[in-house]
Chain A
């Protein structure tokens, strides 16, 4: 069912990200751009699927900064535009973001970052909302599914009224949760794009668009923020439920609104606690918050990660303390609410119980003790691992074995993608540094210049094909230019695998399904002056031979493109290349000198150990038929039979 289906009043079960996409469509958005990243990806995906029918333009940009620039251009031309990314994407976009806040916008423009408290699918707990305060743009945080749609729609109006970019921040537990909403209508596209630039230099609507003269424009932006605060005072997205003068005022926003409601319900303390849910978290609607502070005896701020709202409210409480007197605060600064990890109804209930002096026991302790005991002994952990048939398992098998055979304590610097899991035993613990997109190659570029200080270890980096264009390219340029001795492996699986096969500049189809020029990674690397080789990681022998040669004989920057389509890609999914079988007579089991190389070390979920018969065996349901394990068995016991050619 398309996101465009349905009219005002229709009821739907939508994922939070779909609510945001629908809200943008109901606001008449014309252009949307972003870079994939969990938990944000479905917003652009949903819009991209509907783009042709809706008559809008949607793209997966090369990175987040470019996506913000692309969306900004539409705003400068008078259209409504949206830009979407995950939390750390805002860091990438932040240089342009700062200047965009200064220059102001024209058509309504909304930036949607989706944060990931608890790092459920991230390697950081970064928060985008601090950027709203840092660059001084209004910040909205939906507190449920209906609000996710309605606040998105309103964000465009607010942006147009104030002529500033507006940030609408979501989190994993909203973006990736689903709930029922009531739809509104989607207006037809009527706006014409025209960039008016011939007016007076200080004219925000007709002059050139820039953040200079800086202090003048900065002052204008601060005026807009003061007007935003005034508008927020009467926003219907700030709600209060509870007694007139509560014993405790609980201030919250975002998904924490749902946790807080549930916690109050669990403890049955509706008559003691007032819940102030803020939808407009920065700038604070100060008069509204002040009224509630005055009516309450104490305050608990419930939010995820750093004490953002807590600090803002505390500053306000200090400023009005002459009239209201002292207010006791509970939150992160006093340890009532943790400052790391995501919150939950239980964490909020625990905090509330402590502050109110009531007891809350979720489960009968006898049941809990028994269940814990069974789970401890009976539910062995599931470490994350590459999917069966994943090219990365083969790539890291090759890299790991070549570096081990090389014997000079070589290592690999990594970055963000499914291949980040190569820090784990499932990737043979091959990655030794792991940071931001493209950072593997940047860090390697630095390591590669340390020979004068005695460093003689081979230096490698890995990045994915989408990551190559996102941020590895400048690092590669840097390494070539400075003659850094590194070997960069580009794990080219023909798509943005981790987030669901979004298009990138290396592919021939864009987000909307149009044919586009694909940029050849090998050609780019060659043009930059790197020594380039291409191998299929499933061909274990060839890949290892090529990598050995690159490490041993070549100086400067070497690029090894390991090309094999992701096992989950729509082209490949469900189709096996080989029927796999372990010949039980040839498998020597525990007596083999290999020490169970296939299962103890290779660790593919599709190749399991039959403890009863002490032999390896293929799990037919799991095996993806890639055939790689046949190459690793020293006894030749793992047999592959070709069944289908996958392009």
Chain B
């Protein structure tokens, strides 16, 4: 079994309601669970997600289930499907040792659309995230996904990117098998392509 750096290893997947946070956390959870690891996932969905900030908490352990809520300041890794959500999560769950993977495509909060608040410049966000973490990667997953055919591939790219950080034991072959079982060989191929594109983006960002 490939290792985890800490037990439990705490991952937060964050984003905006509608981005596929829940599916992404399930995909990742199943990949880790299939290797014999104990995975606990905590999340909220329902009306609470409509356009709001959403988070999934993943606890990965060799021994047991953990609380579905990660204690404050105790996340080891943040996968952020949207830039400012990374900053929001760091304020609650961050610590100097944390690592952060960010999809750099922004989604404007309605308050920014209406002009009540302003979306911060991307350079500032990069600076803050870098300052609040031990290591960070910004990848342009959504835009690459749109070029591949649909924004929905963005989350698969993020999983591919995550595998390339080597923070968690995610194997390309296991991902391919899971995709094939879930959606057949045709779609699995495209998803594997997205996975590889994500992995390549992290190699470039590093």
- Chain A interfacial positions (CB closer than 8 Å to B): 1, 11, 13, 38-39, 120-121, 144-145, 172-174, 176-180, 255, 258-259, 261-262, 266, 344-346, 349, 362-364, 367-368, 370-372, 374-375, 377-387, 418, 420-421, 425-426, 498-499, 574, 596, 599-601, 603-605, 607-609, 611, 619-622
Expressed in whole angstroms, the Cα–Cα distance for A569 and B88 within the complex equals 30
Chain A residues within 8 Å of B181, by CB: 1
> How many residues from B make CB contacts under 8 Å with A?
65
Contacts A383-B109, A599-B115 given; indicate if A262 touches B71 (C-beta within 8 A).
yes
Chain B residues within 8 Å of A378, by CB: 84, 87, 120, 124-125, 128
CB-CB contacts below 8 Å: B29-68 with A:
29-30, 33, 38-48, 50-53, 65-68
Contact of A363 among B29, B53, B73, B146 (CB under 8 A): B73
Contact of B146 among A377, A596, A620 (CB under 8 A): A620
What would 28 A/B residue contacts be, using CB atoms closer than 8 Å?
A177-B40, A177-B68, A178-B39, A179-B41, A259-B67, A344-B69, A344-B71, A349-B71, A362-B71, A363-B72, A374-B90, A375-B88, A379-B87, A380-B112, A380-B118, A381-B109, A383-B110, A387-B50, A426-B51, A574-B150, A599-B113, A599-B114, A600-B115, A601-B114, A605-B108, A607-B113, A609-B113, A609-B115
B76 sits at the interface (CB 8 A): no
Further contacts, 5 of them, CB under 8 A, given A13-B41, A367-B95, A383-B51: A145-B65, A178-B40, A379-B87, A418-B50, A498-B46
Chain B residues within 8 Å of A39, by CB: 46
Contact of B46 among A121, A380, A619 (CB under 8 A): A121
B69 touches A38 (CB 8 A): no
A600 touches B50 (CB 8 A): no
Number of A-B contacts (CB under 8 A): 204
Expressed in whole angstroms, the Cα–Cα distance for A609 and B106 within the complex equals 13
Least Cβ distance of A118 to chain B in Å? Answer: 9
Chain B residues within 8 Å of A619, by CB: 107-108
Chain B residues within 8 Å of A372, by CB: 91
Chain B residues within 8 Å of A172, by CB: 44
Contacts A258-B67, A364-B96 given; indicate if A379 touches B84 (C-beta within 8 A).
yes
- Chain B interfacial positions (CB closer than 8 Å to A): 16, 18, 26, 29-30, 33, 38-48, 50-53, 65-74, 84-85, 87-88, 90-91, 94-96, 105, 107-115, 117-120, 124-125, 128, 131-132, 142, 146, 150-152, 181
B67 touches A261 (CB 8 A): yes
| A259: nearest chain-B partner, CB-CB | B67
| B182: nearest chain-A partner, CB-CB | A1
A180 touches B72 (CB 8 A): no
Expressed in whole angstroms, the Cα–Cα distance for A425 and B96 within the complex equals 38
A384 touches B87 (CB 8 A): no
Contact of B52 among A180, A370, A384, A607 (CB under 8 A): A384
Chain A residues within 8 Å of B108, by CB: 605, 608-609, 619
| A360: nearest chain-B partner, CB-CB | B71
Chain B residues within 8 Å of A605, by CB: 51, 107-108, 110, 113
Chain A residues within 8 Å of B47, by CB: 38, 121, 384, 418, 420-421, 498
Least Cβ distance of A362 to chain B in Å? Answer: 4
Chain A residues within 8 Å of B90, by CB: 371, 374-375
Contact of A382 among B46, B52, B105, B131 (CB under 8 A): B52
B71 touches A603 (CB 8 A): no
Contacts A375-B90, A386-B51 given; indicate if A345 touches B71 (C-beta within 8 A).
yes
Chain B residues within 8 Å of A180, by CB: 33, 38-39, 65
Expressed in whole angstroms, the Cα–Cα distance for A368 and B69 within the complex equals 19
B33 touches A499 (CB 8 A): no
| A378: nearest chain-B partner, CB-CB | B120
Chain A residues within 8 Å of B151, by CB: 621
Chain A residues within 8 Å of B72, by CB: 346, 362-363
B128 touches A374 (CB 8 A): yes
Expressed in whole angstroms, the Cα–Cα distance for A39 and B42 within the complex equals 13
Expressed in whole angstroms, the Cα–Cα distance for A620 and B124 within the complex equals 25
Contact of A384 among B33, B50, B67, B95 (CB under 8 A): B50
B45 touches A367 (CB 8 A): no
Expressed in whole angstroms, the Cα–Cα distance for A609 and B120 within the complex equals 14
B68 touches A173 (CB 8 A): yes
Chain A residues within 8 Å of B45, by CB: 38, 121, 176
Expressed in whole angstroms, the Cα–Cα distance for A588 and B102 within the complex equals 35
Contacts A180-B33, A380-B119, A603-B110 given; indicate if A258 touches B91 (C-beta within 8 A).
no
Q: Interface centre among B43, B44, B53, by most A CB within 10 Å?
A: B44
Expressed in whole angstroms, the Cα–Cα distance for A426 and B112 within the complex equals 13
Least Cβ distance of A355 to chain B in Å? Answer: 18
Contact of A345 among B67, B85, B105, B150 (CB under 8 A): B67
| B53: nearest chain-A partner, CB-CB | A382
B50 touches A13 (CB 8 A): no
Contact of B68 among A258, A387, A498 (CB under 8 A): A258
B65 touches A179 (CB 8 A): yes
Expressed in whole angstroms, the Cα–Cα distance for A622 and B113 within the complex equals 13
Chain A residues within 8 Å of B74, by CB: 362
Contact of B120 among A1, A178, A377 (CB under 8 A): A377
Expressed in whole angstroms, the Cα–Cα distance for A11 and B26 within the complex equals 16
Least Cβ distance of B47 to chain A in Å? Answer: 5
B18 touches A367 (CB 8 A): no
Chain A residues within 8 Å of B70, by CB: 345
| B22: nearest chain-A partner, CB-CB | A176
| A146: nearest chain-B partner, CB-CB | B65
A371 touches B114 (CB 8 A): no
A382 touches B44 (CB 8 A): no
Contact of B117 among A262, A266, A380, A420 (CB under 8 A): A380
B132 touches A374 (CB 8 A): yes
Least Cβ distance of B178 to chain A in Å? Answer: 11
Chain A residues within 8 Å of B124, by CB: 378
Contact of A120 among B44, B73, B114 (CB under 8 A): B44
| A590: nearest chain-B partner, CB-CB | B115
| B127: nearest chain-A partner, CB-CB | A374
Expressed in whole angstroms, the Cα–Cα distance for A619 and B74 within the complex equals 35
Least Cβ distance of B59 to chain A in Å? Answer: 9
Expressed in whole angstroms, the Cα–Cα distance for A377 and B33 within the complex equals 38
Expressed in whole angstroms, the Cα–Cα distance for A384 and B51 within the complex equals 5
B113 touches A177 (CB 8 A): no
Least Cβ distance of B94 to chain A in Å? Answer: 5
B50 touches A385 (CB 8 A): yes
Contact of A367 among B51, B115, B118, B132 (CB under 8 A): B132
B50 touches A386 (CB 8 A): yes
Least Cβ distance of A560 to chain B in Å? Answer: 24
Chain B residues within 8 Å of A384, by CB: 47-48, 50-52
A621 touches B109 (CB 8 A): no
Chain B residues within 8 Å of A176, by CB: 42-45
B95 touches A363 (CB 8 A): yes
A13 touches B43 (CB 8 A): no
Expressed in whole angstroms, the Cα–Cα distance for A121 and B181 within the complex equals 32
A421 touches B50 (CB 8 A): yes
Least Cβ distance of B77 to chain A in Å? Answer: 16
Expressed in whole angstroms, the Cα–Cα distance for A13 and B31 within the complex equals 10
A381 touches B50 (CB 8 A): no
Contact of A596 among B44, B115, B150 (CB under 8 A): B115
Chain B residues within 8 Å of A499, by CB: 46
B26 touches A375 (CB 8 A): no
Expressed in whole angstroms, the Cα–Cα distance for A303 and B72 within the complex equals 20
B33 touches A13 (CB 8 A): yes
Chain A residues within 8 Å of B41, by CB: 13, 177-179
